[in-house]
Amino acid sequence: MDSYIRRFSYDGTLEGFLCTALKILRAKTMPDEICPEYLTGNSDGTYETVRTNASEAEYMYSLIGRRGSAEVQQMVSDFFLTCAPDREKLLFEMIYLALRDGGKIAEDYSSDVMRRIHMAIRDLYREAQAVLVNVDFYRGGEASCAVIDPHNSVLPIIRKALLKKEDIDDLIVFDKRHCLMLGRKGDRDILSDIRHISLKLPDTGSEAYEILWPALKESKFEIRFAGDANAIPGRRRDYDPLWSTAC
């Protein structure tokens, strides 16, 4: 790669990041910064915005599996859920290493990049377990609702466990830090980024019941991340389709 430095922005989704990584690799440059669009502010054209393309994201994710390994693919998905400093740059460096050196990089703890990524993923799963056992539901008349505020984006990881809770039928769990909402009504469940909805975002379970539950009942939320049809591009079928936005 040459030494040309550029700043890139993307839509904040994993698919969008994969498209950005592919564009950078094709340009044979090293990024100075990769940042979600909603964090760039008024950038005055200093960022090159990369638009998300599902087929390009699928190609990039599949390439990581072919040139790296399924383990590296999983690490890409997991690390994207963390709030590690320089997350996007570290993730791009891992992808570059996987394409260059293969799947062995997943076990290379001598690399500062890989060591930081392993530590961040470890902390992600530790926090996920801690959040899961401490979710405090407000029991409304029609559904149980909770609001969480984790450091990392743990809701995709604890999604299945929450949906399997035997003492709860319809539910909403809203992560107010990352603007992700898990919802279930009957046999329909969703995991969706609601950053841009025209509703006041709740701070408590009772507020989630008053604000988000009526919108879920009226099917106002896009079902983006639930079910096999919405799996992460390139993800192996024995993985659970989980997430997109994680910032």
Phi, psi of 47 (to 5 degrees): -110, 140
pLDDT for residue 236: 38
Q: What are the boundaries of each domain within the chain? A: 5-126, 135-230
pLDDT for residue 233: 40
Mean pLDDT by 10 residues, the chain (247 residues): 69 91 92 86 76 92 94 94 94 95 92 95 96 96 96 94 89 94 89 84 96 87 44 38 37
Tell me how far apart the terminal alpha carbons of the chain are, to the nearest angstrom.
Answer: 28
Provide CB contacts within 8 A for 239, sequence distance 6+. 74, 77, 231, 232
Q: What angle do CA 123, 35, 208 make, to 5 degrees?
A: 60
pLDDT for residue 18: 95
The residue to which tokens 């260059």 are assigned: 100
